[in-house]
Chains A and B, each alone.
Chain A
């Protein structure tokens, strides 16, 4: 019995040890970030744990004391709120990309996206359209805004299904349960989906800019390690990896003009 107890203590002990940071990240990063972390760990020997969710949900968890060290948000507004509430450090706020929304259909879809564009959603073969939940997910809000921009929201509203985050929205259409989806470009480019369908990029002026930003959280007990990880994000190595998933800052100028 004592031996067993010792073993349990040993096991829990090893998990709690070390300078390992925990990163809470928006769901659109769930393919790119593990690769960035792999590169980071290889280079520095430090490990990073990842937790994905919708930016709104994660923000709420951080407000309720979740033990995260760094937060990657799909909408800069959330980190800004956390900074205003004293929960994140302003000097660490780093906009690493502008997120892009795409209309995605599986390979077996008859829709000609290049010809129809967003109007493809009005075709009869499209039963359900998956988007992220606009209440908690920036991509969901962007999807809703884009549908309103093209003035088809009322026509498709009854056919929308909401994913808990943009990843689930992607999964709904990838699995064929929805016939079209308004999802993150990073998912369309990810190995898991790349060869399974095609996409049409929603023009950037159709929705408010999805400024992606990372920030170190004030409650973190591993401030140095957290800052170090964000520094790594600025290296050419990391930025080129982000670019592979469609994350770059080229839409940034457009957004600042608009605001």
Chain B
């Protein structure tokens, strides 16, 4: 059991799911209340990581954000290194990769809030933002926890993107899924088994929390 890889992955997943709360809530808010005709295009874009192979994302991160692209050069001048092979690179990759797993539950729970409550809040003088903070967010607690937990679990199990842009550096980019892969490839089955079992248990607990909280079958899908 590689504890270094384990804690690295927990740190990555924790950071990514916390950031996704901050990034995901405004996006979900907009998706719920916007009346823009072409909103479905944004909804489709947010859902893309669910269907795209991680290799597509890995490829873009590596090449489009590499030292040959303007964006990559800008990042390099800012930080002194490319995005690949760094913890930040994994964070950015995971943010995109897990975005729908946060935004969709958020948007679903915002959309489920009774509109009469919103009108009541507005008639009492609250601005839309105050209404959102005082009425929608507290009612949507289960959805927020669901989004946090799912993006945490999803990042925990991320493999393809990390394999493509991580460079397998111990303590920096060697996540638990990469560690399992290495163990299996070197026929070190007992170590792979231990790590896999722990990952299985954690994922099961996280999903149990999600289902327990929602008390009805939950599936990933483009609804709101």
Contact = CB atoms under 8 A, between A and B. Distances in A.
B163 interface: yes
B217 to A, nearest CB: 29
A172 B168 contact: no
Interface string B59-70: 000110011100
Contacts of B163: 164
Interface stretch (B7-15, B20-28, B81-89, B108-116): B81-89
B62 A177 contact: yes
B182 A178 contact: no
Contact of B167 (A60, A128, A135): A128
A171 B84 CA distance: 12
A176 interface: yes
A248 interface: no
A161 B82 contact: no
Contacts of A194: none
A176 B186 contact: no
B84 A57 contact: no
Chain B, interface SS category: loop
A171 B72 CA distance: 16
A175 B63 contact: yes
Interface in B150-188: 163, 165, 167-169, 182, 184-187
Interface in B67-124: 67-68, 72, 81-82, 84-85
A73 interface: no
A67 interface: no
Nearest to B81: A127
Contacts of B67: 176-177
A46 B27 CA distance: 55
B186 A60 contact: yes
A57 B185 contact: yes
B14 to A, nearest CB: 24
Interface centre among A63, A127, A136, A175 (most CB of B within 10 A): A175
Question: Size band of the B side of the interface?
Answer: 20 to 34
Contact of A175 (B68, B182, B184, B186): B68
Nearest to B72: A176
Contacts of B85: 128, 161, 172, 177-178
A186 interface: no
Interface in A156-203: 160-164, 171-172, 175-178
B186 A136 contact: yes
Contacts of B185: 54, 56-57, 60, 135-136
B100 to A, nearest CB: 27
Given A175-B66, A176-B67, A177-B67, A135 B182 contact: yes
B167 A130 contact: yes
Nearest to A137: B185
Contacts of B68: 175-176
Contact of B168 (A57, A133, A175): A133
B47 to A, nearest CB: 28
A220 to B, nearest CB: 22
A70 B143 CA distance: 53
A195 B72 CA distance: 22
B186 A135 contact: yes
A162 B84 contact: no
Nearest to A160: B169
11 contacts: A57-B185, A60-B185, A128-B82, A130-B167, A136-B185, A136-B186, A162-B168, A172-B85, A175-B68, A176-B72, A178-B85
Interface of A: 54, 56-57, 60, 63, 127-128, 130, 133, 135-136, 160-164, 171-172, 175-178
Given A163-B167, A172-B84, 7 more contacts: A161-B168, A162-B169, A172-B85, A175-B62, A176-B82, A177-B62, A177-B66
